[in-house]
Amino acid sequence: MNPALPTKESETRLIALDWGTSSLRAYRLGADGQRLELRALPWGVMQLPDAGDGENAGFEAAFEQACGDWLKAAPTTPVIAAGMVGSRQGWREAPYLEVPLAVAQIGGSLASLRNRDGQLIHIVPGLMENSQLPNVMRGEETQVVGVLSLSAQQDKVADILIGLPGTHSKWVQIRQTETQKEVRHFDTFMTGEVYAALCGHTILGRGMSAADSSNGNAQRDFERGLQVAQTPAGQAGVLSTIFSTRTLGLTGALDGSGQREYLSGLLIGHEIAALHGMLQSQQRLPAQIMLVGEAGLCARYVQALRCYGFDHIEVTQQATERGLWQLALSAGLLHPDSST
């Protein structure tokens, strides 16, 4: 019996790679950017497979594992990649674009390379804000493009704030006019990395125990930390208030699991308090906030944003793959019928 022929809906239109520092996610996308298949591999740019001493051998091997069979089945499929693969430590550097800039400009500024088999791979550039304290992003710009394409409200408001909570949380200010969307500013908070470092490598972690989902006090302890930045003591700043994680444990106010929850809330609360203060001073409080990230972490940030007076918050999913699809469209990589 002959296998069923592939339908138009199952045909590969784009291979999209989210290639970061520690992992590689490969998407096989069909018509309208529909996900047909996803592969997650541990081959980030800093831990590539051992594939000999040839130049870029690790990148070549990781790429082959991620999507080599897809390209053999559909050799004319365009390939686009975002993330640290375009950094100086990556396969090919894609120079930063300077903010402010039109969102549409990102898709028109792709770098490219050919692998050892001659396959053309397009690489998304990162963004840089070259100010007194420079700021950069790589990979998040693709999520921003995806978020803007997914929101039902994004064409109805002039100012959007896109939040990307994680190891290095990004807050991206988008200005919309009748003719274009513009990235005009972004801020970075190392909240996630600082939390991990404090828990794992300081005296604060000595009194902590693993998070306990059955602990009914977890939400209370998180909220207690969340509100610290609003208190008079919180005005001393995060370098002062983090020590309360230990002292509240010593006095018996927090158990080991509670200290972990409290510290999470404290750091996120300080982040959102600082963000609110900056936006207020800039007179740029947004009409819409959009979050993208791990669901549980986004839920914490929604709570924190509401605690500090923000509203009109929307959480989106699948922003990376949608962003890669949109960038491929704007770069002219897709056939005219790919979106029909």
* pLDDT, tens only, 18-71: 999 999 999 999 999 999 999 999 999 999 999 877 889 999 999 999 999 999
Alpha carbon distance 34, 49 (integer Å): 29
- Residue 119, pLDDT > 80, answer yes
246 contacts: CB under 8 Å, gap ≥ 6: 203, 204, 207, 259
User: What angle, rounded to 10 degrees, do the helices at 218-226 and 256-281 form?
Assistant: 40
pLDDT at 3: 52
* pLDDT, tens only, 240-268: 999 999 999 999 999 999 999 999 999 99
pLDDT at 243: 97
Domain ranges of the chain: 8-139+323-339, 191-311
Q: What's the rounded mean pLDDT across residues 193-201?
A: 97
Give the DSSP letter string of 279-318: HHHTT---SEEEEES-HHHHHHHHHHHHHTT---EEEE--
Whole-number average pLDDT of the chain = 93
* pLDDT, tens only, 167-176: 999 999 999 8
- Residue 1, pLDDT > 50, answer no
What percentage of the chain carries pLDDT values higher than 90?
Answer: 86
Band (179; pLDDT cuts 50, 70, 90): confident
* pLDDT, tens only, 200-235: 999 999 999 887 666 678 999 999 999 999 999 999
Tell the CATH superfamily of the 191-311 domain: 2-keto-3-deoxy-galactonokinase, C-terminal domain (3.30.420.310)
Band (7; pLDDT cuts 50, 70, 90): low
pLDDT at 9: 60
C-alpha distances (whole Å) from 57 to each of 14, 52, 60, 64, 255 are 24, 6, 5, 11, 50
Q: Which CATH number fits domain 8-139+323-339: 2.40.10.10, 2.40.30.110, 3.40.47.10, 3.30.420.300?
A: 3.30.420.300
- Residue 131, pLDDT > 70, answer yes
- Residue 289, pLDDT > 80, answer yes
pLDDT at 214: 64
Report which secondary-structure segment, H or E, holds 106.
Answer: helix 104-107
